[in-house]
Amino acid sequence: MESYTKTNFTIKKWAEEDRPREKLLLKGKQSLSDAELLAILIGSGTRGESAVDLSKRILAAVQNNLSELGKKTVSEMIQFNGIGQAKAITILAAMELGRRRQLTTISERPQIRSSKDAYNALAPLLMDLPHEEFWILLLNTANRVIGREKISAGGIRGTVADAKLIFKKAIEKNATGLILCHNHPSGALKPSAQDINLTKNIINAGKTLDIVIPDHLIIGGDGYFSFADKGIMTG
């Protein structure tokens, strides 16, 4: 009886409809798992491991979290046996294209009707960062996005948001509303006392300038915390 070890049961011996490239052609890209899509980028595995198995090992190392994979550097990727510089660059380039695809919707001036809409407009900018940044989403009277502005960038534990700079950006763009947003690289979504105090101060300052502050988002990991959803957007 033939023994199917890793070295002789390669992707070429799989049923054609189970091979990632052929499966995509036959069933469409949506039918592929994350590991199978990654295997297409990798192209080939090693002598003892198929491209799909290598992909599963890489994904397992990031808890099957594509956001975490997107944070990897080339030097970190080549630590995986079977991943050289060229394959690492291919993977990271694909992750960056995915992130940029999410950003293209901003050109359509989406209308912000909920915290989820705001998250979708801002998350691609912040979700993969290893440090903290503070951004604002500028809105017109119809709550449509007219711009996104970075206010500050800091370290792992925090960044400083200057209220004067925030409102200067809003006035320059004739914004009638703005949504505050910053990320927590740790993935923790609970706001700090400083986050809450800053939000209250900006809300109060906005009242003087007739600029509405409907929400403040904290982005971390694959999720977000909305001050408005939690009922704490009060000055």
pLDDT at residue 9 tops 80: no
Q: Are residues 115 and 206 in the same domain?
A: yes
> Mean per-residue pLDDT for 47-75?
90
Residue pLDDT, tens place only, 18-57: 588 888 888 888 888 999 999 999 988 888 888 999 999 9
End position of a domain, from candidates 49, 70, 102 = 102
The whole-angstrom separation of Cα 183 and Cα 129 is 8
135 pairs with which residues across the strands? 150, 181
H-state helical runs in 104-192:
115-126, 163-172
The whole-angstrom separation of Cα 162 and Cα 205 is 12
In a domain, 1, yes or no: no
Q: Are residues 216 and 120 in the same domain?
A: yes
In a domain, 233, yes or no: no
Residue pLDDT, tens place only, 120-158: 999 988 887 888 999 999 999 999 999 999 999 887 666
Residue span of the structural domain in which 98 resides = 11-102
Give CB contacts under 8 A, 24+ apart, made by 41-45. Answer: 41/87, 41/90, 41/91, 41/94, 42/82, 42/83, 42/87, 42/90, 42/91, 43/87, 43/90, 45/10, 45/11, 45/82
End position of a domain, from candidates 43, 75, 102 = 102
Residue pLDDT, tens place only, 180-220: 999 998 888 999 999 999 999 999 999 999 999 999 999 98
| Residue (of 180, 177, 183, 179) closest to 224 by Cα position | 183
Number of domains in the chain: 2
End position of a domain, from candidates 79, 102, 125 = 102
Domain of 132, CATH number, reads 3.40.140.10
What is the pTM (predicted TM-score) of this model? 0.65
Q: Are residues 146 and 192 in the same domain?
A: yes
In a domain, 235, yes or no: no
